[in-house]
Structures are given as structure tokens and as C-alpha cells.
Amino acid sequence: MKKEIIDIIIITMSFAAILIAILSFFQNSKFNKRQLRIEKLEEMLEIIHILCGNYQYFEDTYFFKAHLLNEELEIKVHKKYISQLNELIEVSNDIDLRKKLSRLFVLNNSYLPKAKLKDKIGVFITVYTSIAEHTISQSNNSIYSPFQNFPKRWDFLDFTREIQNEIIEEMNLGYKKNIEDKNDFELVFKNRYNLK
């Protein structure tokens, strides 16, 4: 009788240990998936931040090219445009523009549900791809792309911040509206070190 009780206790404990191990496996699996998703959303934030920071160069070159094509400008201005275009191509290569845009596309379609945020990032990618085609392309012919004109840098910055804040909310870590223009500590820092 005593041996039977010990056997029942051992079987019960073994069963409980197996059950705990199974539950632990599923809990870890769920945690790992969440961590992976957060990492991918962070990568999206990083790519969007880099692209947004360089948008002004594309906008300036697009504006320059549009005016250059519409008017007969002197050779000096044309040379300045060529120089600016070469700098833009260098910037594009430095940030590895094609790779960043394609990576953002893959992350957007893999880690976000079909919702407004996914569509906004799709528009971000399309605008950036279109402005890159309109500026970096050496052709003076009209290029077909979904966008034929582009937002000003401050409008694009607002749109980008909106996307970044929604990605932060999508991480579901309890933070909202973390990306903004205003830094309350900047004035304190300037006063502390007597900066203008």
C-alpha cells in the first residue's frame, strides 16, 4: 500500500513536471515571437528614421531637376545640378537606399497586420521610391511612377513622425507619441551650459 502511494506520488509529480515543461515551452515560444516582432518593428523605425533624415536631399534635387528641365539655364547652373546629383547618388549609396527600401517593404508586409499603418508605410515606400527614380535617374524623360510631385520636407517629416509613433504603439510596450519635434530638456541644457 505504501509503495503504491509512493508510485502514485512519483507519477503525479512526473506528470506535473511534464505539464509545467509543456506550458513553459509554449510561454517561451510566445515570448520569443513577441521579442522577434518587436525587434523587426525597431528595425522598421530605424530604416524610416534614416530615410526621413535624407529626404531633403532628394527633394532639393527633384526641385532643381524640375526647374532645370523647364527652363534654359546657363551651363554654370547645369554643372551645379550635376554636382548635386552626384552628391545625392553618393548619399543613396551610403545609406544603401535600395536595400533599405526593399527591407522596409519586406518587414512591413511580414510583421504588420493589414491595417492603416501598413498602408501608410506602403505609401512612404512608394513616395521614396518615386522621388529616388525622379532624381537619381539620369534620364531627362518623364518617368512613370505613382507620384509625379512630392511633399515638402516638413510635411514628409510630419507624416514620418505619425508612422513612427504608430509603430511604437504597435510594439505595445505602453508608450505613445514618443517621437515629436519638441524636446523639453533642450532649453534646460542650453541654460546649463550657457549656449545659444
Average pLDDT of the segment spanning 26-36: 84
Of 9-13, 114-118, 166-170, the one with minimum mean pLDDT is: 9-13
Q: Report the percentage of the chain scoring pLDDT > 70.
A: 90
Task: Report which of residues 168 and 196 the model is more confident about.
Answer: 168
108-115 contacts at long range (C-beta below 8 A, 24 or more positions apart) = 108/44, 110/40, 111/37, 111/40, 111/41, 111/44, 112/170
Q: What is the pLDDT of residue 142?
A: 56
123-178 tens-digit pLDDT: 999 999 999 998 987 655 555 778 888 999 999 999 999 999 999 999 887 777 76
Quote the pLDDT of residue 70: 64
Contact of 152 with 59, CB cutoff 8 Å: yes
pTM for the full predicted model: 0.78
